[in-house]
Chain A
């Protein structure tokens, strides 16, 4: 497709379970970003990749969060031992290079029971 694709669109899971969120960026985009949108915190930056490298992981909320990117394309955001405060919409964005406009996917709505 032409845009950023995220899956699943919705995920409901029990507290303590691990979840994996996937992002397919626009073809050819070298930069990829993860953001989280929640009622209490608004839109907040989590992590970015330039190619397969994530130079700055300081935005990740805790060590339960990790992300990787392979082949300079697909990225996965993994949350281990989910907590209720992890409930949010997780948005992925890509741009053809750093400093260029970011194009967003529709997000994954994560609900922790």
Chain B
């Protein structure tokens, strides 16, 4: 069975500082990988995805993530955080088999200090 671990439940960074959110997954092969962001009272917005090819993927809002097969990781990064980035971030995997349903990590809540 596939699983996702986000080791950091809460992270606080100063505005303008760099950000890295960690994600580790467990899956028998290379899964599809995603990062979603959720603001309070809202649904999930897709930030970026990895299906194949280049292991460094660019997303919306200046985010990027790097797939590292050897570490089973898919960490999310942003060079300079804005106050509007405060939200909850979810890493997710989907198998390449029937259904492709998402398995989510527990989420990381990001707070941004002025």
* A residues neighboring B (CB under 8 Å): 4, 31, 33, 35, 42-45, 48, 55-56, 59, 91, 93, 98-99, 101-107
Contacts and interface: CB of A to CB of B under 8 A. Distances in A.
9 contacts: A42-B106, A44-B104, A93-B102, A99-B94, A99-B96, A102-B102, A104-B44, A106-B43, A107-B43
Contact of A106 (B42, B102, B105): B42
In this complex, the member of B36, B49, B102 whose beta carbon has the largest number of chain A beta carbons within 10 angstroms is B102
A55 B98 CA distance: 9
Contacts of B102: 33, 35, 43, 45, 93, 102
Interface of B: 32, 34, 36, 41-46, 49, 90, 94, 96, 98-107
A98 B34 contact: no
A98 B101 CA distance: 9
Nearest to A49: B99
A107 B36 CA distance: 15
A103 B46 contact: yes
A38 B46 CA distance: 20
B99 A56 contact: yes
A42 B102 CA distance: 13
B43 A98 contact: no
B43 to A, nearest CB: 4
B106 A99 contact: no
B59 to A, nearest CB: 11
A43 B4 CA distance: 11
Contacts of A33: 101-102
